[in-house]
Amino acid sequence: MSGPRTARPSPLPPALCAEAERLGVEIAYTDVDDIVHHADPASVRSVVDVLHEDAARGDQAPIVEHVIVLGGPDACRHTGIDWAAVEDAQLTLADGTVIARQSLIDALEALPIGCHRLDVAVAGRIGASTIVQAPAAMPSMAAVARDGRRPSGLFTPAYGLWSEQDPWPGFHHLGDLARHATAAGIDVLYTLPLYELFLDETFDPSPYSPVSRLHWNEVFLADPGLPASALPEPGLGRLLDLAGLASHRRGQLVEAAATADAALLGQLDAFVRRRPDAANYARFRAERDRTQVPRALIQRSYVLAQYLADQQLGTAATSGAALGLDVPIGSHPDGYETWAHPERFATGFTVGAPPDPLAADGQDWGFPPQLPAASRRSGHEMWRRLVDRASEHAGVLRIDHVMAVHRLWWIPPGAASAAGVYVRYPAEELLAVIAASAAAHETTVVGENLGTVPPEVDAAIHRWAMLGLHEEGFHLHDPELVDIPRWSVAGIRTHDMPAFSAMVAAAPVPAYRRLIDPDPTPDSHEDPGTLLEAVLRRLAASDAAMTVADLDDLMGLTEPHNEPGRRGGTMWRRRLPCPLEQAVTDPTVARRLALIADRTTQPTGATGT
């Protein structure tokens, strides 16, 4: 087999190549056609400069590594610290327990799983390290699998859910659907990210561009319990008026904060003591507020929103099927994360993807990349907090674009997407942090590994017993049925792909029909519903770790959730055409739910190894 084909000789000076390698900048990458593309010299220089500046902010010769991983798949037991040279030390466990120098060595031999802080003194110098005691693997699916069988899932966006009694989207609708899903034999209810969005004048409804990945979206609060708002209620057509709903909720929350009694104020104070970031987030939002409402009241209203959201999402998470939540790889460039920790981000740079068959000019996702050295100095605090916060309510946690723990495509200020370069991240440290944080809640971790990813990504997924994804919709035109990996969550499509009915109508798949249903009935050749049910049976009978189906597909809907690269239109705000209780009890939907939930059939055919 021939190796990758080089597009042209490297234009980079040797000295720049050496500096790039030292700082984790990849000077070339291989595309889907096995062509090697060398990085633009100006882009490499720009990225190297900002990484060099970031590295220079830290101690050039630290007395202890900023991050030390113990345990993990390799069962590492060595800190690399010369204890004979240590004058004093203190270990603070994740639960706040403090262990002094004299008991520290024994404590390190039996550390609980989690992220702990070690402070040491050597030759008059002080240093600190985050010690990650990682499990041997990511948490298993035991917490979501009932009766030891292979689990199944249902996906739907939360913004599309409504009922006859309450036509607004809300966390409580997720709870209602979770109960219906459990009754249908479904184990996990997946949805899109539920984080706060800019829905005011900055309006960006994409759940993958959140204001903060630590704070829940207040538009999903339940209407009961909040005061009536003086603002007009947004219309309830086919498309959700997110801006109108956000304004409506804001008015209700401000009034609720203004009339809060002593008991509620005490509860909010206790909440802030547990969640100091809620108060910080409230200050951030109050600074942006353009109304005449007193700033203190605005801040209280945002704390109240997070307090209520945490309660209501917690209730939904314990209502039936486990929740499958989604963590985006970045947040809005003007959002809370860059406001709270500007020193951790490469200002002016954005994250995206190089050119590929789906985006010939590359992609620019608009949010800034985190600086690798700054992340290490913080003990990868952002990743710890992201996973911990989401795992409080998630039985399954999907990490979008999991390749980000290995490398990200950085686009310099003013450059085209195609002129970006890959920057490496400390993958083993990040995976250890994710595993340790998820283990505290027994949350199953899924990494979105679709598209062109380096071999080391899937290798790491295997090493850490993480789950990947398989989407059958990518393989409808393959000459043979492809293997469905055992370690995958197997479905038909992602939220960025067309609806199944639209997919097969736009490009018929007669060969796939014959492969998957060798004995079709005379009326089934052109029926997308019959083909859908055959695909559901194939997925359910596979030995994939988990299966999932999109409620839109089960209902035969034809519109997409999202079209990458497009803005406006129906993106991120299309409501279900009927109340959720009607949708899940429809005989056709119920039959199809039963198909994806039936994991008792022994795997046959091309189902993976």
Predicted confidence band at 453 (pLDDT cuts at 50, 70, 90)? Answer: confident
Is residue 63 situated within a structural domain? Answer: no
Look at strands 188-190 and 152-155 and give their pairing.
parallel
pLDDT tens readout for residues 144-192:
887 778 999 999 999 999 999 899 999 999 999 999 999 999 999 999 9
The Cα–Cα gap between 194 and 171 comes to 9
Helix ranges (DSSP H) in 160-294: 171-183, 242-258, 262-274, 276-288
DSSP H or E run through 30: strand 28-30
Cβ pair 146, 547 in contact under 8 A: no
pLDDT of residue 175: 98
Is residue 309 situated within a structural domain? Answer: yes
For residue 605, give the amino acid letter: G
pLDDT of residue 349: 98
pTM, two decimal places:
0.94
pLDDT of residue 243: 93
Does residue 605 register a pLDDT over 90? no
Q: Is the dihedral of CA 565, 189, 195, 425 positive or negative?
A: negative
Q: Residue length, the chain?
A: 609
Mean pLDDT is lowest, of 67-81, 138-152, 179-193, 337-351, for 138-152
Cβ pair 534, 518 in contact under 8 A: no
Does residue 1 register a pLDDT over 80? no
Beta bridge partners of 422: 26, 409
Q: Compute CA 8 distance to the chain's CA centroid, rounded to the nearest angstrom.
A: 37
How many distinct structural domains can be found in the chain? 1
Domain range spanning residue 218?
A: 146-317
Is residue 426 situated within a structural domain? Answer: no
**Nearest Cα to 411, choosing from 364, 466, 447?**
364
pLDDT of residue 189: 98
- The stretch 63-81 carries a mean pLDDT of 94
Does residue 357 register a pLDDT over 80? no
pLDDT of residue 606: 47
Is residue 310 situated within a structural domain? Answer: yes
Tokens coding 427? 């993958």
Is residue 202 situated within a structural domain? Answer: yes
Is residue 329 situated within a structural domain? Answer: no
Is residue 570 situated within a structural domain? Answer: no
Tokens coding 21? 């390698």
Q: What dihedral angle (degrees, nearest 10) is formed by the CA atoms of 133, 460, 49, 9?
A: 160
pLDDT tens readout for residues 458-483:
999 999 999 999 999 999 999 999 99
- The stretch 307-313 carries a mean pLDDT of 98
Mean pLDDT across the chain, nearest whole number?
92
Cβ pair 436, 132 in contact under 8 A: yes
Predicted confidence band at 566 (pLDDT cuts at 50, 70, 90)? Answer: confident
pLDDT tens readout for residues 421-447:
999 999 999 999 999 999 999 999 999
Is residue 248 situated within a structural domain? Answer: yes
- The stretch 351-376 carries a mean pLDDT of 90
